[in-house]
A and B are shown apart, each in its own frame.
Chain A
Amino acid sequence: MNPFEIITSALEAIKINKLRSTLTALGVIIGVAAIILLISISAGLQNYISAEFEKLGTNSLFIIPGKLEGSFGGGPPRSVNKLTFRIVDRLEREKNPAIVDVSPFIEIAVTARFRNESKVTTMAGAKETYFEEAQVKTNKGRLFTASENKTARRVTVIGPTLAKDLYKGANPIDKDISISGKNFRVIGILEARGNVGGVDADNYLYVPLNSARKLTGADQVNSVVVRTASTEVIPQAKEHIQKILDRSLSEDDYTILSQEQLLSTILQILGVLTAALGGIAAISLIVGGVGISNIMLVSVTERTREIGLRKAVGARPRDILTQFLAEAVILSVSGGAIGVLVGYLGSLAISNFIQTAVPFWAVALGLGFSSAVGIVFGVAPAIRAARLQPIEALRSE
C-alpha cells in the first residue's frame, strides 16, 4: 500500500463519521490548546521579568548572610548571621578599581511615634546610594545626602502609608518623629510602591545607615549591594570580595549573587511552575488519547467485514495495521494542529491583559505530543484489526 493510498483511505474513513471524528479530536484539541496557552503565559512572564532585570542594570552583586542552597530556601536565622559591619566595612576600605560602591542594608523593627499616634514598623538603614539602586523616589521633600549619612544625622524619609497613619493628613515634612525614643526629622515622603517582595514597602521608614547603627547599635548586616564599574568586571569584583570575606568567614557564612544568578533563580522557579502546569495539561491530552483509543476500537468492530474483505483480496496484517494507525494519527495530529491554533488565538486574546509569547518549541511540543498520543493510543486497536482472521471477519454481520 503506498503512502498516498494510506492517507486517502484514512481520510475517507474519518470523513464518513464527521461528527464522531470531530468529537474525538476535541479531546486532543483541548489538551494541546491548554499546553500552548500555559506555556505562552509562562514564557511571557519570563520575558517580562528578564526585561525588568535588564532595566535595573547588570553591574551589581548582592551579598547575603548564610549559604543559599540550590535555588530555594531563605536566609539563616539572625542568630547565625555572621555578616557583621566589622567585616563589611573592610570591603569599603579595601575597594579595588572594579568596585564602585559598597552599600550595606539593615532592617530593624521599631516603634515610630508622632504625638499620640504610634505604629510598629520597619526601619531600613541604608546609604544614600541605595535609593538609586532600588529605584525609589520621593513624592514630597527630598532624600538624605551622603554628608547626612556620614555625620549620622537624625533625618528620615518615610513611606506614604506611615505618613498618613501618623500625621492624619497634616504635612509631615520638617516635623519630628520619634523612632525607638529618639527624635528624627522627616525630610521626605516616598512614592507609593505597594507590595514589594511580600512586604508593604509604603510602611517603611528609611534613615541614613550610620544613624541607624548609632541608634540601635546593630552589628549584623541584612544584605550588601556592591556596584561594579561595568558588567565585565563582575568576576574580578566577586573574587576580590570573596578574598576579603574569606579572611574571617567560612564559605557557608555568606552568598554572593549577581543579577544574572538572581534572574536565573527566578526563571528556574518559573520553569518548574511551567513544567508542573504543562504536566497537568498533558493529562487532558492523555484523556484525549483514551478517547481516540476508544473510538478506534468501535471502528474496528464496526468495520470487521471490511477488514475481512481487505484481507481476502490480499491485504497483509501490516497493511491493516498501517491503515488503522494512520487513522488514529491523522485524528490526533489534526486535533493537535487545531489545538495549536486555538492555543495561539487564546494567547493573543490574553495578551491584551498580560504579556504572552508562543515559543516555537511549544508548537513543536504540542504537535509532537499529539502525534505520539495518536501512535500510542492507536496501536492497540490497529493490532486488533490486523489480527482478525479473514473468514471470521467475513462471517460477521
Chain B
Amino acid sequence: MNLVTTSSLTKYYGQEDNRVIALDGVSLKIQKGEFVAIIGPSGSGKSTLMHILGCLDKPTSGSYKFAGEEVSGLSEDSLAQTRNKKIGFIFQSFNLLPRTSALKNVELPLIYTRLKLQESQERARLMLKKVGLEERLDATPAHLSGGQQQRVAIARALVNDPLVVFADEPTGNLDSKTSAQILELFQNLNKEGRTIIMITHETDVAKVAKRIITIKDGKIVKDFKNKPKKMTGEKRKGVV
C-alpha cells in the first residue's frame, strides 16, 4: 500500500523576480512499513520536503496523496486532524514543553482528541515505558539528558499510533553513543511495522535505513535500497 505518493512536487519561496526554488519536481512513492532516510546537504530542500510530506506545509504545485487522500484539497482543520491522528513528528531540538512533566508532554497530542483524560494518561505512561522512561514520568525536560528528552519526544510521536513517523535530524543534538541508541530504537520500531521517514545530512545516520533517497537542489538524485547497518547501542532494560 502506498502511504506517500507525490508527483512533480514543487515549492517556491519569495516573489517572482527573487524566487527561491526549494523543491523542483519531486516524484516519489513510499510504502507502509518502509524505513526511509532522506539525505542531502543543507539547502537541498530536504526539510521542505519533510514539511510537505508531514502536512505542515503545502506545495506550490504538484500532487501529494497521503494515505490515499489528496492533501492540497484539505482545509486547515482537516490538516490538523491528519497530523493529529496519522502522523508523528520528532525534531532535532526535541521541542518539548518546558516546565512540563514527561508524562504531560507525551499526552500533548491526545488532548486534541476526544480521548478521556484517564485513557490519555494511561497511553502516555505505556509509551514512556516502551522507550525506557517509566521511572521519569514526572521529570521536566530540564531534569532529563538529551537522549532522555529525545526518547520523550519519540514517545510523544508514537502515542497516537500514527501511520508514519517523521524524524527531522533526530540525532543532530546528541552525542554518538546516544545517537546509536536512538537509531537502534528506530530500527526496532520499524521491525514492529512502523513506517519511518528520517531526514539527515549525515551518511552514517542514513545507513541505518532500508532505503536512502538523496536530494540535491530540490531534486531526487539517487534512490536505492540499502542493507541497513546493524546498530549495536548498549542494550537497556525495557528498551524496545
Partner of A394, one of B77, B81, B95, B108: B95
> Is A309 in contact with chain B by the CB < 8 A criterion?
yes
| Chain B residues whose C-beta falls within 8 Å of the C-beta of A16 in the assembled complex | 99
| Chain B residues whose C-beta falls within 8 Å of the C-beta of A311 in the assembled complex | 56, 80, 83
CA distance in complex: A390, B95 (Å):
13
Are A317 and B51 CB-contacts (below 8 A) given A5-B111, A394-B91?
A: no
> Is A170 in contact with chain B by the CB < 8 A criterion?
no
CB distance from B154 to the nearest CB of A (A): 13
CA distance in complex: A309, B84 (Å):
11
* Inter-subunit contact B91/A313 (CB<8 Å): no
CA distance in complex: A12, B97 (Å):
12
Q: Which of B87-130 contact A (CB under 8 A)?
A: 89, 91, 95, 97, 99-100, 108-109, 111-113, 117
* Inter-subunit contact A4/B112 (CB<8 Å): no
Question: A183-213 CB contact bits vs B (8 Å, 1 = yes)?
Answer: 0000000000000000000000000000000
Which 10 interchain pairs have the tightest Cβ spacing? Answer: A314-B84, A313-B109, A316-B80, A314-B112, A5-B111, A309-B95, A390-B56, A316-B77, A314-B83, A391-B56
A–B complex contacts, Cβ < 8 Å, 12 sampled: A1-B111, A1-B112, A2-B111, A4-B117, A5-B111, A310-B108, A311-B80, A313-B83, A313-B112, A316-B76, A317-B80, A389-B57
- Name B's interface SS: helix
Question: B28-49 CB contact bits vs A (8 Å, 1 = yes)?
Answer: 0000000000000000000000
Question: B49-90 CB contact bits vs A (8 Å, 1 = yes)?
Answer: 001001011000000000000000000110011011100010
Q: A12-B99, A318-B77 are in contact. List 16 more A-B contacts (CB 8 A).
A: A2-B111, A2-B117, A305-B95, A306-B97, A310-B112, A311-B56, A312-B54, A314-B80, A314-B81, A316-B76, A316-B81, A316-B112, A317-B76, A390-B56, A391-B57, A394-B95
CB distance from B13 to the nearest CB of A (A): 11
**A residues in contact (CB < 8 Å) with B:** 1-2, 4-5, 9, 12, 16, 305-306, 308-319, 389-391, 394
* Inter-subunit contact A319/B112 (CB<8 Å): yes
* Inter-subunit contact B56/A312 (CB<8 Å): yes
> Is B151 in contact with chain A by the CB < 8 A criterion?
no
CA distance in complex: A266, B76 (Å):
60
CA distance in complex: A385, B57 (Å):
17
**B residues in contact (CB < 8 Å) with A:** 51, 54, 56-57, 76-77, 80-81, 83-85, 89, 91, 95, 97, 99-100, 108-109, 111-113, 117, 156, 160
Are A315 and B80 CB-contacts (below 8 A) given A1-B111, A1-B112, A4-B117?
A: yes
CA distance in complex: A389, B13 (Å):
15
Closest to B85 in A: A314
CA distance in complex: A113, B160 (Å):
103
Closest to A15 in B: B99
Partner of B84, one of A2, A313, A317: A313
CB distance from A396 to the nearest CB of B (A): 11
* Inter-subunit contact A314/B117 (CB<8 Å): no
* Inter-subunit contact A309/B97 (CB<8 Å): yes
CB distance from B72 to the nearest CB of A (A): 16
CA distance in complex: A394, B92 (Å):
11
Closest to B157 in A: A313
| Chain B residues whose C-beta falls within 8 Å of the C-beta of A4 in the assembled complex | 117
Closest to B91 in A: A394
CA distance in complex: A113, B43 (Å):
109
CA distance in complex: A2, B117 (Å):
9
CA distance in complex: A313, B81 (Å):
9
CA distance in complex: A309, B156 (Å):
11
| Chain B residues whose C-beta falls within 8 Å of the C-beta of A9 in the assembled complex | 111
CA distance in complex: A316, B81 (Å):
8
Closest to B95 in A: A309
| Chain B residues whose C-beta falls within 8 Å of the C-beta of A390 in the assembled complex | 56-57
CA distance in complex: A305, B98 (Å):
11
CB distance from B76 to the nearest CB of A (A): 6
CB distance from A17 to the nearest CB of B (A): 11
| Chain A residues whose C-beta falls within 8 Å of the C-beta of B113 in the assembled complex | 314
* Inter-subunit contact A313/B156 (CB<8 Å): yes
CB distance from A387 to the nearest CB of B (A): 10
Are A312 and B85 CB-contacts (below 8 A) given A5-B111, A390-B56, A391-B51?
A: no
Closest to B113 in A: A314
CA distance in complex: A276, B4 (Å):
66
CB distance from A7 to the nearest CB of B (A): 12
Closest to B96 in A: A309
CA distance in complex: A187, B233 (Å):
118
CB distance from B49 to the nearest CB of A (A): 12
CB distance from B191 to the nearest CB of A (A): 25
CA distance in complex: A9, B104 (Å):
10
CA distance in complex: A12, B111 (Å):
15
Closest to B76 in A: A317
Closest to A393 in B: B56
Q: Of residues A9, A308, A391, which shows the largest number of chain B Cβ atoms within 10 Å of its Cβ?
A: A391
CB distance from B117 to the nearest CB of A (A): 7
